[in-house]
Amino acid sequence: MGHWEDFWWDTSKEIQELGLKKAFDKQLEKMDTQDKHRYKDTRQRWEYAKTKVINNLKKEKNEKSKTVQG
């Protein structure tokens, strides 16, 4: 498998395993309407959306952890 195919496979698998498919798709749709993402290729858009939803998940878990502890 080539480098590009690995990216698509790994990204899809990671998003599915984390249960973030809906959030990922929603982020991609949101990016369709934003000028700053207009000239990014598909791979760049997927990478950005993946990073964004994973960081949001980590942030949510962090906030929940602080609420439980404090």
Q: What does the pLDDT average to over 25-52? A: 95
Give the orientation angle of helix 42-69 with respect to helix 3-17, to 10 degrees: 30
Rounded CA-CA distance 50/45 in Å is 8
Rounded CA-CA distance 17/7 in Å is 15
User: Cβ contacts of residue 11 below 8 Å, gap of 6+?
Assistant: 46, 47, 50
Q: What does the pLDDT average to over 17-36? A: 96
Does residue 1 have a pLDDT over 60?
A: no
Residue (of 14, 35, 33) closest to 24 by Cα position: 14
Does residue 8 have a pLDDT over 80?
A: yes
Q: List the domain boundaries for the chain.
A: 3-69
* Digit-coded pLDDT (tens) for 55-68: 999 999 888 887 77
Tracing tokens 């496979």 back to the chain, one arrives at: 9
